[in-house]
Amino acid sequence: MNLEFASYACVGRPCRNFNIPATAVIRDPWDGREKFVLSNMALGETGNLIFIDTETGEGESFLLPGDAGAWGLVNWNDELLVVGTCPEYAYLHSFELKSRTWRSPLRDEGEKYFWNLTLGSDGNVYGGTWPGCSLLRYNPVRHTLENLGRVSDNGKNHYSRPVWGELPGTVFVLAGFDSVQLRAYDIASGTFADFGSPGFTIQEIASEFICTEKDGEYEFYNPRTLEPLPPEPYLSKLADRDITLPNGKKNRVLPLADGRYGGVRGQEYFIAGSLSETPELKPIPVPAPATMIHTLLEGEDGKIWGSCAFGQTIFAYDPADGACWNSPAVCDKGGEVYGMLFIGPRLFLSCYVGGDHVVYDTSRPWNQLLNENPRTLRSVAPELIRPTGRTVLGPDGGVWTGWSAKYGTYGGGLSRIDPGTLEVKSWYDPVPEQQVAGLTADARYLYFTTNGGASGLAYKEEPCHFGVWSAEERRVVRLHRFEEGVRTGSAVMAAGGKVFVAAGNGIREFLPGTFSFARTIELGEACGWMAKISEDEIAAFGTKHLYLISVKEAKARIAAELPGPVHAAAATRAGELYFASKSELYRMDPTARSHADPLEAKGEG
């Protein structure tokens, strides 16, 4: 096939934010001053450590040698900062504070995530992993990394998180998420044993007791014998590690050397004199890095709006002058915004990890701290937490979102916001034990795909589905089961009286009038995302190529080679196509689109 690829241009990296999964406090040997250390994760890019002087508020930034960032962070004797990274390599990085240099990275092949790290009583640093559910040990003196073996005897458990090293001679590890197992690793013998009641996790390790917790219920154990203790004498002795913010919400803090406390909330940090003080939130004092773009759409104002892939923020890019705006956190829970939908100046958002629905009136001042604007509506958690299907405008005028179930559960659901009353309703498991992966709508129905994905569990290999949902009747009116081995995802789009569904390495044409699939466009690669340019044309993003689909003919043509994996795309009213690869935003003008020979489509038979 003779192809003339279309041209597109990178217009910038407008999505910038902080995402701080770990903090530490050091007495910096570089200058002898105390520093509040923030571990920043820049998903899709390279993470960094941020040092904030606890007296002056001045900041420094140090780029990691590799990977997006770190949940794991340990101060080793004010000599080293030990960092365990994710999500690609599970590096163990060691930063020498006195020389401001990084040691050579270490890693355990096959692991992608380090979760949190802890300092053991033997002076070594321990950390849990994914997907191997292992316990790793780092020796800072020898600069060696050792795998101590699988934590869980349940082969479906892939997570070992968190870890605790406060008890002399023991490292506690929580394994999940198929089953929750609290395990105790004996440093001397190198063996694992079960600890505590099923489903409980460590709340606190103190000199007098070990406290475990499950759903607000507490159990206590003797730290020397590990035998149960009566809870009454110890409940009042649990440490208070939280401070109350100006909005009345609790926020976790770390103690500083002089009795003060440091904490982080979203894009801001604070230093407080005591736990009874209401802290003043301040901007993190270093430039925010570019981060991966997760969602894109055009706003009523002509700007390109989007969300960050981690950090719970949104951004706006103005094509007229290239100006960018990045928000503070859109809600109290961490994670990221998946679904975005404008109705007038109001932007409706759906968010992981809290299953949150959020509405932001872009014409009014920002005041998320007091839940005024943006405003968080009713959550669909704990049953539903991840809005994998994103958010669309339903035929009934409702704001509809497709969801994946809570950690350790296969399942999903749909939710609806009434834009007038802001009432939230939800429906669980339209297809039993499958998450809603993609969602679209036309003037009559909602259409969704499901698959075996889940949070905290391995992908479940079983037939995926395509469903037709009546917004009026609030039920599935037609369900199609795909062949074994054919996966579906987020790519599904209604246009021109048809619905196009990415399945396997092709795109299926669905005809709502007959509730049947007609033709398949074979791409030879999986399609991960679609954007509707008009009722006559859809952009489909494969692993390597951009395809333009003629809705009427159900044919696709290769328009361009992509610069990398595309995670989000949106078309404007003027016909421009914006798409994102990692942190870079690209634009393709209508005149640049190619008219190469179309790929052939075949009938379903």
Domain ranges of the chain: 1-17+487-605, 18-283, 328-484
**pLDDT over 80 (residue 603):** no
The pairs formed by 427-433 with CB atoms below 8 angstroms and a separation of 24 or more are: 427/474, 428/383, 428/384, 429/405, 430/467, 430/469, 430/476, 431/465, 431/467, 431/476, 431/479, 433/460
Average pLDDT, the chain: 96
Q: Which two tokens stand for residue 599?
A: 């790929």
Position 181 scores a pLDDT of 96
Among residues 1, 4, 14, the alpha carbon closest in space to that of 578 is found at: 14
Q: Which two tokens stand for residue 534?
A: 């008009």
Which amino acid type is present at position 276?
Answer: S
Q: Tokens 């990398």 correspond to what residue?
A: 564
Position 592 scores a pLDDT of 75
Q: How confident is the model at residue 417 (pLDDT cuts 50, 70, 90)?
A: very high
Break the chain down into helix, strand, coil percent, rounded to 5.
0, 50, 50
pTM for this prediction: 0.94
The beta strands (E) that lie in 452-495 are given as 465-470, 475-481, 488-495
398 vs 377: CA distance, rounded Å? 15
Mean pLDDT to the nearest integer, 508-531: 97
Superfamily of domain 18-283: YVTN repeat-like/Quinoprotein amine dehydrogenase (2.130.10.10)
Position 6 scores a pLDDT of 77
Fold match between domain 1-17+487-605 and domain 18-283: yes
Mean pLDDT to the nearest integer, 540-555: 96
H helices of 38-150, in order, are: none
**597 in helix, strand or coil?**
coil
**pLDDT over 90 (residue 87):** yes
**pLDDT over 60 (residue 65):** yes
Mean pLDDT to the nearest integer, 484-488: 97
Q: Are 52 and 40 in contact (CB under 8 A)?
A: no
Position 1 scores a pLDDT of 33
334 vs 405: CA distance, rounded Å? 17
Mean pLDDT to the nearest integer, 277-301: 97
328-484 CATH fold: Methylamine Dehydrogenase; Chain H (2.130.10)
List, for residues 157-206, the tens digit of each pLDDT value: 999 999 999 999 999 999 999 999 999 999 999 999 999 999 999 999 99
1-17+487-605 CATH fold: Methylamine Dehydrogenase; Chain H (2.130.10)
Position 601 scores a pLDDT of 65
The beta strands (E) that lie in 121-178 are given as 125-130, 134-139, 144-150, 159-164, 170-176
Position 597 scores a pLDDT of 57
The beta strands (E) that lie in 215-303 are given as 217-221, 228-229, 242-244, 250-255, 261-265, 268-272, 282-283, 293-298
Position 493 scores a pLDDT of 98
Mean pLDDT to the nearest integer, 219-241: 95
Position 280 scores a pLDDT of 96
**pLDDT over 70 (residue 3):** no
Position 204 scores a pLDDT of 97
Among residues 411, 456, 414, 461, the alpha carbon closest in space to that of 435 is found at: 411
Q: How confident is the model at residue 331 (pLDDT cuts 50, 70, 90)?
A: very high
Q: Are 431 and 507 in contact (CB under 8 A)?
A: no
Mean pLDDT to the nearest integer, 327-353: 97
Q: How confident is the model at residue 2 (pLDDT cuts 50, 70, 90)?
A: very low
